C-alpha cells in the first residue's frame, strides 16, 4: 500500500480525496495543523500533498523544511492563484503543483506519475561502495567499521582501492609495497587470501590470471 501524508486544513476536501484514493489502495493520512504534520514521521510516507494556506505556518515554509530534511516527493495543492507561489514552491523543491479545485482523478494520475519517476530515479542511483580509504589515519573501513589490517594488507588494499575496477599487476604491488618480508608472488597470494576473508562477500578482489588483481565495485 502507498502511504500518503497530506497537510490540508480543509477537512472536507481532504476527506473527499482520501476516500477517492482509497479505491486505488492509496492510504492518505491528513493533518490540519502543519506542525503536527511535520512531526508525524515523514520518512514513513511515500509522498506529501501540501496545501499552502495553513494555520500558524505558511505552506511554503513547510515545503522548505521538508525538502531540507527528507527525501520525499511533494505535490503542492493550493487555491492560491498567484504565479509567484507556484514558481517559489517548485524552486524550493516541490515536484508538482496542482491548483484547486481539481478532479481527484487528476490528482491520482499525478501521484502515480510522480511515484513512477521517483522510483526510477532511486533505482538508477549508483550504489555507495562499502570500502573507504582514510590515508591520513592509515585506515580502511568496510560499511563504516574499521578493518583490522596488517601493514602489508593495508598497502595492498590501498593500492587496489586507488585503482578500483582496473587491474594492478603483481609486479606493481610488490614494487610499491616495501612491507613484504620476502617480496615474493607467494607471500602476495597469502595476503590477498587474508584480505578476501576480511572483506567477505561485499567486496570482490578478482584474480586476473597471469597479470595481477582487480578490486571490483
pLDDT in tens, 101-132: 899 999 999 999 999 888 766 655 556 688 88
The answer to whether the beta carbons of residues 63 and 94 sit under 8 Å apart is: yes
Q: 3-class SS at 176?
A: helix
Of residues 55 and 143, the one with the higher pLDDT is 55
Q: What is the pLDDT of residue 50?
A: 96
Q: What is the pLDDT of residue 11?
A: 93
Average pLDDT over residues 166-187: 71
Name the average pLDDT for the chain: 87
The answer to whether the beta carbons of residues 68 and 46 sit under 8 Å apart is: no
Average pLDDT over residues 9-34: 94
Of residues 176 and 163, the one with the higher pLDDT is 163
Q: How much of the chain, in percent, has pLDDT values that exceed 70?
A: 90
- Reply yes or no on whether the pLDDT at 183 is more than 50: no
Q: What is the pLDDT of residue 143?
A: 81
The answer to whether the beta carbons of residues 155 and 183 sit under 8 Å apart is: no
Of residues 139 and 119, the one with the higher pLDDT is 139
65 upstream amide cis, omega within 30 of 0: no
pTM: 0.58
Residue ranges and CATH numbers for the domains of the chain are: 2-123 (3.40.50.2300), 131-216 (1.10.10.10)
Beta bridge partners of 78: 99
Question: Residue 26 and residue 50: Cα distance in Å, rounded?
Answer: 16
- Confidence band, pLDDT 50/70/90 cuts, at residue 3: very high
Question: Residue 140 and residue 158: Cα distance in Å, rounded?
Answer: 8
Give CA torsion, residues 206, 207, 209, 213, to 10 deg: 90
- Reply yes or no on whether the pLDDT at 185 is more than 70: no
Average pLDDT over residues 179-185: 53
Q: Are strands 47-50 and 26-31 parallel, antiparallel or unpaired?
A: unpaired
The set of cell numbers assigned to 195 is 584480505
Least confident segment among 50-54, 80-84, 204-208: 80-84
The answer to whether the beta carbons of residues 30 and 18 sit under 8 Å apart is: yes
Helix/strand number for the chain, H first, E second: 8, 11
Question: Residue 116 and residue 153: Cα distance in Å, rounded?
Answer: 45
Q: DSSP character for 54?
A: -
Amino acid at each position: 500500500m502507498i502511504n500518503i501524508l497530506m497537510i490540508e486544513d480543509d477537512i472536507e476536501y481532504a476527506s473527499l480525496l482520501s476516500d477517492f484514493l482509497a479505491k486505488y489502495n492509496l492510504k492518505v493520512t491528513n493533518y490540519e495543523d502543519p506542525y503536527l504534520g511535520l512531526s508525524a514521521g515523514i520518512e514513513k510516507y511515500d509522498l506529501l500533498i501540501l496545501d499552502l494556506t495553513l494555520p500558524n505556518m505558511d505552506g511554503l515554509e513547510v515545503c522548505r523544511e521538508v525538502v531540507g530534511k527528507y527525501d520525499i516527493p511533494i505535490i503542492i495543492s493550493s487555491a492560491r492563484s498567484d504565479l509567484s507561489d507556484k514558481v517559489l514552491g517548485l524552486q524550493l523543491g516541490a515536484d508538482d503543483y496542482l491548483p484547486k479545485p481539481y478532479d481527484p482523478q487528476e490528482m491520482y494520475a499525478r501521484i502515480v506519475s510522480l511515484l513512477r519517476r521517483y522510483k526510477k530515479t532511486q533505482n538508477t542511483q549508483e550504489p555507495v561502495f562499502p570500502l573507504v580509504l582514510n590515508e591520513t589515519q592509515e585506515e580502511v573501513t568496510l560499511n563504516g567499521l574499521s578493518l583490522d589490517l596488517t601493514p602489508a594488507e593495508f598497502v595492498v588494499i590501498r593500492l587496489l582501492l586507488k585503482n578500483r575496477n582496473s587491474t594492478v599487476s603483481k609486479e606493481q604491488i610488490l614494487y610499491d609495497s616495501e612491507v613484504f618480508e620476502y617480496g615474493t608472488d607467494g607471500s602476495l597470494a597469502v595476503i590477498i587470501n587474508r584480505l578476501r576473508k576480511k572483506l567477505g562477500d561485499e567486496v570482490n578482489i578478482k584474480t586476473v590470471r597471469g597479470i595481477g588483481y582487480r578490486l571490483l565495485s
